[in-house]
Structure 1
Amino acid sequence: MDVRSEPDVRSAAVTIPAGGAELPADLLIPPEPAGVVLFAHGSGSSRHSPRNTAVAHVLNGGGLGTVLVDLLTPAEEQVDARTAELRFDIRLLADRLAAIVDWLAAERPFGPAPIGLFGASTGAAAALVAAAARPELVGAVVSRGGRPDLAGPALGQVRAPTLLLVGGLDDQVITLNEQAQAALPGTAELTVIPGATHLFEEPGTLDQVATRTTTWFTTHLPR
């Protein structure tokens, strides 16, 4: 573990074993974190996603630890860059997320902090499938511009309180999220961010995502 000190927040670069793969991850660990949020990035993205990184820093400011991880190996990313097939392999991505959740629970780099999942685009589907597979470990889920419909039957098995964030100009994805909200059996809230497109690139829209995400996790992760 390579750790460097920063004001208030420790940063650690680690490699996490997941289903035979070794996945690079960046951990940000505030003092006595109230929870830890594992990010599942979207199609064609990586742990260096500027949008997820921006949200992670806001979460850190709210006392939450964060894990930004590449869910595909470098070799798999090369294949995916040509075929775009692995980014839609929800089962593969969900299995790896579940393995990372297990690693967090066993290794406890954030201490006893409860675990939440934040998924973007196709990563949101993988996060929901992983939450359904680890109901005793995943305490809350947030989807940003997600495709929760791709989680399929697993939606009906999700017990973690789930927040679905969608851009107000992302009409098709709004409809898909409305359908997913109806299929989620537990606490599920759909929030539409006015004036935002799919990637929340409009001024101020990603700030709203970060604020609502922080509130959701600080409210819903078990103490």
Structure 2
Amino acid sequence: MRELVAIPDGVASVEGLLEIPPHVRGMVLFAHGSGSGRHSPRNQFVAQQLQLADMGTLLVDLLTPEEDHDTQSRFDIELLASRLAVAAAWLRARQAGVALGLFGASTGAAAALRLAAQAGIDVVALVSRGGRPDLAGNEALHRVRAPTLLIVGGDDDEVLALNQKAYAQMHCEKRLEIVAGATHLFEEPGRLEEAAMLAVNWFSFHFPRPRPRHA
């Protein structure tokens, strides 16, 4: 099932692309980075790989078109996290009882971590690709309990250093995977595919096991 959705958030509306495979074992909500949204070809590729592994995806635009032109809004982690929380609540109502995972890229990773750190939010697993977990703040990083995978390009020196510092602040089950030869956008041949498979494996391990399919 593939559906364009509009999720109301006060005066704004979060637009998204919802895709649910027939035998869904979990849903992954995507938090896009600065200057990116549900049309991101990189996140769409990752979403397709997750769907092939029986995971549903919801790619949402956390900013309105007007807000997205404002650099300050792109780095407003509190705003991004609040919009992500609205999308998560909508998704839980739509897919009641289905495990929830979060996938964040760039500043979206900080929003995902902020959401996962909130009391009462049951996030089964979280993945960051080329993210800025440092922007979530040490307090949020300390409170995250969801198993978290940080994926960083080996040639993305500044972001790698920031991820290493954030990683040291986290007390949950965690892993830092460095994709050799990849820069920030994982544009080098085969690097995005490698990052996608790391994400698929992480969610597959932590989501409930799929039910046997009867002939």
Do they fold alike, i.e. is TM over 0.5? yes
Q: Does the CA-based 8 Å contact 2:25-2:208 persist in structure 1?
A: no
Q: Does the CA-based 8 Å contact 2:115-2:121 persist in structure 1?
A: no
Q: Does the CA-based 8 Å contact 2:14-2:83 persist in structure 1?
A: no
CA distance in 2, matches of 1:136, 1:129: 10
Identity fraction in percent: 56
SS in 1 for 2:85: helix
Residue from 193, 203, 209 that aligns with 2:195: 209
User: Are 2:51 and 1:60 equivalent residues in the alignment?
Assistant: yes
Aligned AA (2:6)? T
SS in 2 for 1:25: strand
Deviation of the 1:76 alpha carbon: 2.0
CA distance in 2, matches of 1:214, 1:65: 12
Q: Does the CA-based 8 Å contact 1:167-1:174 persist in structure 2?
A: yes
Deviation of the 1:222 alpha carbon: 4.7
CA distance in 1, matches of 2:118, 2:181: 35
| Partner in structure 2 of residue 91 of structure 1 | 78
Q: Does the CA-based 8 Å contact 1:170-1:197 persist in structure 2?
A: yes
| Partner in structure 2 of residue 21 of structure 1 | 12
TM-score scaled by length of structure 1: 0.89
SS in 2 for 1:138: coil
* Cα offsets for 1:60-106 (capped at 9, x unmatched): 001100001100123323xxx2x311010000000111111111112
Deviation of the 1:135 alpha carbon: 5.1
Residue correspondence of structure 1 range 29-40 to structure 2 within 5 A: 29-40=20-31
| Partner in structure 2 of residue 130 of structure 1 | 115
CA distance in 2, matches of 1:89, 1:210: 26
* Cα offsets for 1:98-121 (capped at 9, x unmatched): 11111111222xx53201000001
Q: Does the CA-based 8 Å contact 2:128-2:150 persist in structure 1?
A: yes
CA distance in 1, matches of 2:153, 2:144: 23
Change beyond 3 A, Cα 1:134–1:116: farther
When the two structures are aligned, how many residues end up with a matched partner?
Answer: 208
Q: Does the CA-based 8 Å contact 2:38-2:60 persist in structure 1?
A: yes
CA distance in 2, matches of 1:32, 1:134: 30
CA distance in 1, matches of 2:23, 2:205: 17
Deviation of the 1:20 alpha carbon: 4.2
Deviation of the 1:25 alpha carbon: 0.7
